[in-house]
Structure 1
Amino acid sequence: MRFSTATLAVAALVAGASAHMNMASPPPLKYKGNPNAKTIDSDITSPNVPSTFPCKGALDVFDSAEGASVATWAPGSQQTVKIEGGANHGGGSCQISLSYDSGSTWTAIYSKQGNCPVDTNLAFTVPSDAPTGDKVLLGWTWINHTGNREFYMNCASITIAGSSSKREEIESAAKPAKRETAFSSRPAMFVANLEGKSDYCVKEGVDVLYPEPGPDVDTVGSSGGPPVNCDTGAAVTGSTGSGSGSGSGSSASATATAATSAVATTTAAATSSAAAATSAIATASVSIPGGVFVTSPSGGASSTAAQTTQQTTLQTKTTVISVPTSAAATKTSSAAPATGSGGAVSGSQTGACSDEGSWSCLSGGSSFQRCASGQWSAVVPMAAGTSCTPGTSDTLSIARRAMARPIRRSLTSWSM
């Protein structure tokens, strides 16, 4: 059965008769709670129709003073989108998406399937490789569970910049490790119930299970079901396309490289600045299940960009260590910048490997590799001021070099 334009139009008119739901934080464009808004949408809780999609017709103020950023989020940071309103239609499914080209293309970064927005706080993590920019659109979309077949969407202007806080790094370390997904490989925002904008419809009484929810997804309840083709009623399976596009404008072009890289930082690198500040001598015994390693990219990546993300549990004890004042003790080891030449590093391993998850610290202790997905990774330099114990084993022992004077130091071990 085809959902006609007339049917959807009537549904929108009926929906407008009562309050529904809208994004409240960060405050969307044309929202009464947005400090930059002069043009107020008094019907912001109503669903989108084809003529107001995307962002419920609010993009006409995005490039004006009314479209100034209302929040700054760091890649890798934990964030919460808050929803308000009086008619949640029994829940449904929601997505959080980002657009770097003024709303032309959207990349889904979080999906909640079921109970949304009955639970009005959507907590998620911004992808660690999300491109930076000061003209980024954040989109909240909702496909309701009961009532008229609708599609809701509000958009806020935000900035993606900076880095996540130390507290967020520690909290993230306590979570199970998982393979990072490149921002450019995340799925497109899913659209349904909008004739002319999508071929997909969602039946009443169903919490839509997105064909491609992405790696960050929460599923609640037992009412989940697939979308259907609006013409045939057949369940939709398979890919709905990648969400990333070439984009336009200075913000998008300045971050094109970041958008195509699934790169993060090792725990050692992420904590190097803090360790330097406290002059810590640390020895880390790292044991991580195979398959969570992300190999470093080739090309013009910097040495800090050619690291890997590992989840850690932080345990700290303090003692007093007397450090020799000899010249040898002051010598530090720094990693050579990664290059795109592809040349082999002395002692490095190449090709297939059988001991999945094992580590190989190269001679000299200034770089390492890992056996991941049956192949040895590219050589990754150690963070400045650290070295590993040469050899191949199930653990990677990392030692931080000492300062050349007696000092109270914090011995910190990371057990992964």
Structure 2
Amino acid sequence: MEAASNHAQFSSSPTLTVWKTITMRITTLAFGLSPLVATISGQMQMSNPPPLRSEFNPYTTDRNVDYSMTNPLRKDGSDFPCKGYHLELSTPLGEPVVKMQGGKLYRMTFTGGTSHEGGSCQVSLSVDGGSTFYVLHSYIGNCPATSGNNTLSFRVPSDVPFVQRALFAWTWFNKLGSREMYMNCASVTTLHEGPDKIDFFDRPRMFVANIGNGCTTEESEDVSFPDPGPELTIKNLAAAPPIGLCDPSKIRAPARKEKEKGKNENKEDNKEDNKEEGCSGPADKTKEKTGEHSVTLIPGSFVIGEAD
């Protein structure tokens, strides 16, 4: 009887019951958070230039910071491009974080944990608010690097248009894991320098896949971009082509139309500019415009030198 009584008192002790409840809740919470923590810290993200809504961006407010910057784009493409943050380009959150001078070399950096055994990446520029992205450089294989310093070097074309708030984009197609597309975008100011070997608007469009657009990348393979552009770094000669409707020629056609439209629209503007300002052409007009804007430059700018 005494043993039974002690057992009853042990089971019904209020203090012990509360302690057990707290312990169980803490354990449950810890197990519940583990996958979330792994997701947040396990991917890669662009850190410099700092993307829109990034914790590294000095113009991101506490209430607007996106701590899921490492997440891929949605499978249905509903947040393409830039996770939807390109729509904030004209707001205080879209202040440019760096200037990119045509003809110079730059370096971007990553931060994060798992690189999914690398993959393939591109860096691109949009000078029309995110409607069109033109490839600056493609990296096939080992991107991001599976070990060592995660940086990518690229050249800004000399003939890049002057745009106060352009979009610089890093896109990544991981080698291992689910078929996904990662994309971070930063607001930058682009500065025109002069003619380039290839017209800026003749560069290929940014490769898009794995977001419900009929084009996918192959599992456990580095993707080989159908049209990587003239500036290319290859770390895997055995990279696999994408699967599905990925023909870049069907994507590039509108770019040429936009280019011709822009040329026709600028003809009359250039004539008027020459009469009123006495300038010798659109290049001079561009240089004059650059002096009208102040550009915020983050300390430790990632300019690494001029292109040859």
1:107 corresponds to:
134
Structure 1: distance between partners of 2:161 and 2:266: 8
The letter of the residue matching 1:227 is P
Displacement of 1:16: 3.8
1:192 corresponds to:
209
Larger relative contact order (CA 8 Å, sep ≥ 6) = 2
Structure 2: distance between partners of 1:77 and 1:189: 21
Structure 1: distance between partners of 2:187 and 2:116: 27
The letter of the residue matching 2:251 is G
Aligned-residue sequence identity (percent) comes to 38
The letter of the residue matching 2:70 is T
Displacement of 1:67: 0.4
Structure 1: distance between partners of 2:151 and 2:226: 23
SS at match of 1:211: coil
Displacement of 1:162: 5.9
1:215 corresponds to:
230
Residue 42 of structure 1 pairs with residue 52 of structure 2: no
Query: What do residues 363-399 of structure 1 show as CA deviations (whole Å, max 9, x unaligned)?
Result: xxxxxxxxxxxxxxxxxxxxxxxxxxxxxxxxxxxxx
SS at match of 1:208: coil
Residue 21 of structure 1 pairs with residue 74 of structure 2: no
The letter of the residue matching 1:26 is P
Structure 2: distance between partners of 1:76 and 1:45: 30
Query: What do residues 57-108 of structure 1 show as CA deviations (whole Å, max 9, x unaligned)?
Result: 2224221111000000111110111111101000011111111121111111
Residue 239 of structure 1 pairs with residue 249 of structure 2: yes
The structure-2 alpha-carbon separation of the partners of 1:69 and 1:205, relative to structure 1 and needing over 3 Å to count, comes to same
**Does the CA contact (< 8 Å) of 2:103 and 2:193 recur in 1?**
yes
Structure 2: distance between partners of 1:194 and 1:147: 15
**Does the CA contact (< 8 Å) of 1:141 and 1:151 recur in 2?**
yes
Structure 1: distance between partners of 2:208 and 2:236: 22
**Does the CA contact (< 8 Å) of 2:40 and 2:68 recur in 1?**
no
Q: TM-score, normalised by structure 1?
A: 0.50
Structure 2: distance between partners of 1:103 and 1:153: 12
**Does the CA contact (< 8 Å) of 1:114 and 1:223 recur in 2?**
no
The structure-2 alpha-carbon separation of the partners of 1:35 and 1:211, relative to structure 1 and needing over 3 Å to count, comes to same
More strand as a share of residues: 1
Could you list the runs of 5+ residues in structure 1 that have no partner in the other structure? 1-12, 165-178, 231-235, 248-252, 259-300, 306-416
**Does the CA contact (< 8 Å) of 1:114 and 1:220 recur in 2?**
yes
The correspondence of residues 238-387 of structure 1 with structure 2, limited to 5 A, is 239-242=249-252, 244=255, 302=280
Structure 2: distance between partners of 1:162 and 1:237: 30
Displacement of 1:52: 1.6
2:27 corresponds to:
none
1:97 corresponds to:
124
SS at match of 2:225: coil
Q: When the two structures are aligned, how many residues end up with a matched partner?
A: 226
The structure-2 alpha-carbon separation of the partners of 1:156 and 1:99, relative to structure 1 and needing over 3 Å to count, comes to same
Q: 4+ residue stretches of structure 1 with deviation over 6 A? A: none
SS at match of 2:109: strand
The structure-2 alpha-carbon separation of the partners of 1:92 and 1:237, relative to structure 1 and needing over 3 Å to count, comes to same
**Does the CA contact (< 8 Å) of 2:215 and 2:244 recur in 1?**
yes
Structure 1: distance between partners of 2:248 and 2:186: 30
The letter of the residue matching 1:136 is A
Structure 2: distance between partners of 1:104 and 1:303: 27
Structure 2: distance between partners of 1:41 and 1:23: 13
2:91 corresponds to:
64
The structure-2 alpha-carbon separation of the partners of 1:303 and 1:30, relative to structure 1 and needing over 3 Å to count, comes to closer
1:138 corresponds to:
168
The letter of the residue matching 2:224 is L
SS at match of 1:117: coil
Query: What do residues 121-179 of structure 1 show as CA deviations (whole Å, max 9, x unaligned)?
Result: 11011011111110100010000011111100000000012659xxxxxxxxxxxxxx9
Displacement of 1:32: 0.6
1:79 corresponds to:
106
**Does the CA contact (< 8 Å) of 2:40 and 2:67 recur in 1?**
no
The structure-2 alpha-carbon separation of the partners of 1:141 and 1:245, relative to structure 1 and needing over 3 Å to count, comes to farther
Displacement of 1:37: 0.7
The structure-2 alpha-carbon separation of the partners of 1:228 and 1:63, relative to structure 1 and needing over 3 Å to count, comes to same
Structure 2: distance between partners of 1:25 and 1:117: 14
Displacement of 1:219: 0.6
Displacement of 1:239: 2.5
1:33 corresponds to:
56
More helix as a share of residues: 2
Could you list the runs of 5+ residues in structure 2 that have no partner in the other structure? 1-35, 268-278, 284-308
SS at match of 2:83: helix
RMSD across aligned C-alpha pairs, in angstroms?
3.1
Structure 2: distance between partners of 1:239 and 1:61: 30
**Does the CA contact (< 8 Å) of 2:106 and 2:153 recur in 1?**
yes
**Does the CA contact (< 8 Å) of 1:94 and 1:112 recur in 2?**
yes
